[in-house]
Amino acid sequence: MESSRAVRADLFDPASLASLGHVEIIARWVVDGFLNGLHRSPKKGFSVEFAEYRSYQPGDDLRFIDWKIAARSNKWVVKQFEEETNLRATIILDVSRSMAWSSGPTVLAKNRYAEQLVAALSLLLIRQRDAVGFIRYDDKLRTVVPPKARTAQWRRILHALEEDGSGLASIAPEALLQAARLIRRPGMVVLISDLLVESAAVAEAVKMLRAVGHDVTVLHIMDPAERDLSMGGEAVFADPESGLEVTATVADVRTAYRKTVDEAIAEWRDTLQATGAGYEVFTTDEPFGVPLRKAFAARQRLP
C-alpha cells in the first residue's frame, strides 16, 4: 500500500515536486497520479455523436456524405453530428503581487503553487474532454482564454501562465464576471487566490454566477506562515500591494494574529457558502491532490 502511494506525484511535497521539472512536466505527473487514485466518474466523457441524416446540399463537406447509402439507393445524404461535452469550465487565477510571497526558500511561493495547480486542473478536465477556459488578473484582466475542449487548449493555458502580471491590486469580482461571459450555459468556475480583497464584492459576483446556474469553487491559497505565524523574533510585516510596513515582535502579536486569520477564514467560508459556492483553504505545503479532489468534487455536483 505504501509503495503505491509513494509513486503518486499528487501526494508529494509541492516544493520538492517543483524542483524536479517544469510546470508542464509536473502537471502531467500530478494528473497521472491523481487519476490512478481516483474512482472514475460515472459520467460519460466528450463525444461527437451522430444526430441525423439530411439531404446533400451544394457546398456541403464531402467528408460527411454517407457513401454506403449513396451506393445502395443513389441518394446523397449528409451525416449530422452533435458535439457534446460534460461541462464548460473556467479557471481564474489571481496573479497580484501578494501571490508572489513565500515565507522561506523551502516553501513554494503562492503563485508557483497556484500555477502548478492551474496546469494540473486544466489538464485533468481536458483529458476528460471538458471545455476549459482561463483568466488571469491582478489590477486588470491580464489573460482571457475562452473555454475549449481541444488538446491544444492546454498549451494555450501553459503559455498564458508565462505572461506578465504581479500588479498591485486584485480585481477578483471583475474576473468572476468575465468568466460568466465566457460560459453561456451552466458550468464550473474555479477561483484560485489568496483572497486579500474585500469579501463583499467577491460574494456579490459569486452570487450572480450562482444565479445563472454556475457551480463555483473558491480555493483560498495561503503560505503556512500566513496561517499560523510560526516564525520567531522580530519581524517587519509588509503589505506587498499597499507598501504599508509595521515592525513587531512575533510572539507579541501571534495570538491576536491567529485569531484574526481564523475570523477572516470563517467570514469567507460563511459568506461564500451562503451563496452556494464551495470554499476551501489550502496551504502551499499541501500536496496538489487535495485541492484537485476539492475542485473535482465541484465538477461532480453538476447535473
- pLDDT on residue 45: 39
Asked if residue 261 and residue 221 are part of one domain, the reply reads yes
- Give the range of the structural domain holding residue 280, as residue numbers without chain letter: 2-41+87-301
The helices-and-strands tally (H runs, E runs) of the chain is: 11, 10
Question: Which candidate, 138, 156, 152, 153, places its Cα nearest to that of 93?
Answer: 138
pLDDT tens by residue, the chain, 303 residues:
344 444 688 989 999 898 888 899 999 999 988 888 765 444 433 344 455 567 776 666 677 788 888 888 888 887 755 444 568 999 999 999 999 999 888 899 999 999 999 999 999 998 888 899 999 999 999 999 999 988 899 999 999 998 877 777 889 999 999 999 998 788 999 999 999 999 999 999 999 999 999 999 999 999 999 988 776 666 666 665 666 777 777 666 778 888 989 999 999 999 999 999 999 999 999 999 988 888 877 766 766
Asked if residue 234 and residue 92 are part of one domain, the reply reads yes
Asked if residue 56 and residue 32 are part of one domain, the reply reads no
Asked if residue 122 and residue 103 are part of one domain, the reply reads yes
Cα 206 from Cα 195, distance rounded (Å): 13
Structurally, the chain folds into a number of domains equal to 2
Q: What is the CATH number of the domain that holds 295?
A: 3.40.50.410
Residues 6 or more apart whose Cβ sits within 8 Å of residue 170: 94, 96, 98, 137, 138, 139, 193, 196, 197, 241
Grid cell of 32 as nine digits: 497521472
* Contact of 268 with 195, CB cutoff 8 Å: yes
